[in-house]
A and B are shown apart, each in its own frame.
Chain A
Amino acid sequence: MSLDEVEILLVEDNPTDAELTIRALRKNNLANKLVWVKDGAEALDFLFATGAYSERNMEGLPRLILLDLRMPKVDGLEVLQRIKADERTMKIPVVVLTSSKEDRDIVESYKLGVNSYVSKPVEFDEFTEAVSTLGLYWILLNKPPE
Chain B
Amino acid sequence: MLFIPIFHNLPNIYNEAMKKINYLNIFIYQNLHKNLSGVIMSVDFRGQKEKNLIALLLVLGFSCFLTYCFQFIPEKSTFLANQFFGPIILVSLWHRRRIWLAPFFLAAIFVFIEIFSQRFGYLLPEDYFRLIMFIFIVIVVAFLGERIEKVRMLNDLNEKLKKQTERLEDANNELEAFAYSVSHDLRVPLRAIDGFSRILLEDYGDKLDDEGKRLIDIVRDNTMKMGQLIDDILLLSRAGRQEMKISEIDVEALANSVFEELKHSMEDRNVQLEIKPLPTAYGDRTLLQQVFSNLLSNSVKFTRTKENAIIEVGADGVKNENVYYVKDNGVGFDMKYVNKLFGLFQRLHTPDEFEGTGVGLSIVQRIIRRHGGNVWGEGKVDEGATIYFTLPGKKEDLKNHLS
Please state if A122 and B198 are interface contacts (CB–CB under 8 Å).
no
Please state if B195 and A70 are interface contacts (CB–CB under 8 Å).
no
With known contacts A14-B188, A99-B188, A123–B194 Cβ distance under 8 A: yes
Chain B residues within 8 Å of A17, by CB = 188, 191-192
**From B184, B192, B223, B227, contact of A100 by CB (8 A):** B184
The reply to whether the CB of B187 lies closer than 8 angstroms to some CB of chain A is: yes
Chain A residues within 8 Å of B223, by CB = 122
Q: Which residue of A lies closest to B190 (CB)?
A: A122
With known contacts A17-B191, A20-B195, A120-B191, A101–B227 Cβ distance under 8 A: no
Q: Tell which of B180, B188, B190, B224 has the most Cβ of chain A within 10 Å.
A: B188
**From A20, A122, A124, A125, contact of B187 by CB (8 A):** A122
Please state if B194 and A102 are interface contacts (CB–CB under 8 Å).
no
The reply to whether the CB of B196 lies closer than 8 angstroms to some CB of chain A is: yes
Chain B residues within 8 Å of A100, by CB = 180, 183-184
Chain A residues within 8 Å of B196, by CB = 16
Instruction: Tally A residues with Cβ within 8 Å of B.
Output: 18
| B260-277 near A? 1/0 per residue, CB < 8 Å | 000000000000000000
Q: Give the contact-size bracket for chain B.
A: 20 to 34
Tell me the B355-374 residues at the A interface (CB within 8 Å).
none
Please state if A127 and B180 are interface contacts (CB–CB under 8 Å).
no
Main secondary structure on A side of the interface with B:
loop
With known contacts A70-B184, A101-B183, A102-B183, A124–B234 Cβ distance under 8 A: no
Main secondary structure on B side of the interface with A:
helix
Tell me the A85-138 residues at the B interface (CB within 8 Å).
98-102, 120-125, 127
Ordered by A's residue number, 24 sampled pairs between the chains whose C-beta atoms are within 8 Å are A16-B188, A16-B191, A16-B192, A16-B195, A23-B199, A70-B184, A99-B184, A99-B187, A100-B183, A100-B184, A101-B183, A101-B234, A120-B191, A121-B191, A122-B187, A122-B223, A122-B227, A123-B224, A124-B194, A124-B199, A124-B220, A125-B198, A127-B191, A127-B195
How far is it, in angstroms, between the C-alpha of A122 and the C-alpha of B192 when the chains are bound? Answer: 8
How far is it, in angstroms, between the C-alpha of A2 and the C-alpha of B196 when the chains are bound? Answer: 30
Please state if A124 and B198 are interface contacts (CB–CB under 8 Å).
yes
Chain A residues within 8 Å of B190, by CB = 122
Which A residues form the contact surface with B (CB < 8 A)?
A: 14, 16-17, 20, 23, 70, 98-102, 120-125, 127
How far is it, in angstroms, between the C-alpha of A101 and the C-alpha of B235 when the chains are bound? Answer: 11
Q: What distance in Å separates the Cβ of B7 from its nearest Cβ neighbour in chain A? A: 75
Chain B residues within 8 Å of A120, by CB = 187, 191
A-B pairs, 6 with minimum CB distance: A122-B227, A16-B192, A124-B198, A99-B187, A124-B195, A20-B195
Q: What distance in Å separates the Cβ of A139 from its nearest Cβ neighbour in chain B? A: 22
Please state if B192 and A123 are interface contacts (CB–CB under 8 Å).
no
Q: What distance in Å separates the Cβ of B199 from its nearest Cβ neighbour in chain A? A: 7
How far is it, in angstroms, between the C-alpha of A77 and the C-alpha of B191 when the chains are bound? Answer: 23
Please state if B180 and A102 are interface contacts (CB–CB under 8 Å).
yes
Chain B residues within 8 Å of A98, by CB = 184
How far is it, in angstroms, between the C-alpha of A121 and the C-alpha of B227 when the chains are bound? Answer: 9
How far is it, in angstroms, between the C-alpha of A82 and the C-alpha of B95 when the chains are bound? Answer: 57
Q: What distance in Å separates the Cβ of B190 from its nearest Cβ neighbour in chain A? A: 5
Please state if A122 and B234 are interface contacts (CB–CB under 8 Å).
no
Q: Which residue of A lies closest to B179 (CB)?
A: A102
Q: What distance in Å separates the Cβ of B229 from its nearest Cβ neighbour in chain A? A: 11
Q: What distance in Å separates the Cβ of B377 from its nearest Cβ neighbour in chain A? A: 30
Chain A residues within 8 Å of B185, by CB = 99
How far is it, in angstroms, between the C-alpha of A135 and the C-alpha of B185 when the chains are bound? Answer: 24
Please state if B184 and A123 are interface contacts (CB–CB under 8 Å).
no
Q: What distance in Å separates the Cβ of A16 from its nearest Cβ neighbour in chain B? A: 4
Chain B residues within 8 Å of A102, by CB = 180, 183
How far is it, in angstroms, between the C-alpha of A14 and the C-alpha of B180 when the chains are bound? Answer: 17
Chain A residues within 8 Å of B184, by CB = 70, 98-100
How far is it, in angstroms, between the C-alpha of A121 and the C-alpha of B184 when the chains are bound? Answer: 11
Q: What distance in Å separates the Cβ of B290 from its nearest Cβ neighbour in chain A? A: 15
How far is it, in angstroms, between the C-alpha of A16 and the C-alpha of B191 when the chains are bound? Answer: 9
Chain A residues within 8 Å of B198, by CB = 124-125
| B143-161 near A? 1/0 per residue, CB < 8 Å | 0000000000000000000
Q: Which residue of B lies closest to A16 (CB)?
A: B192
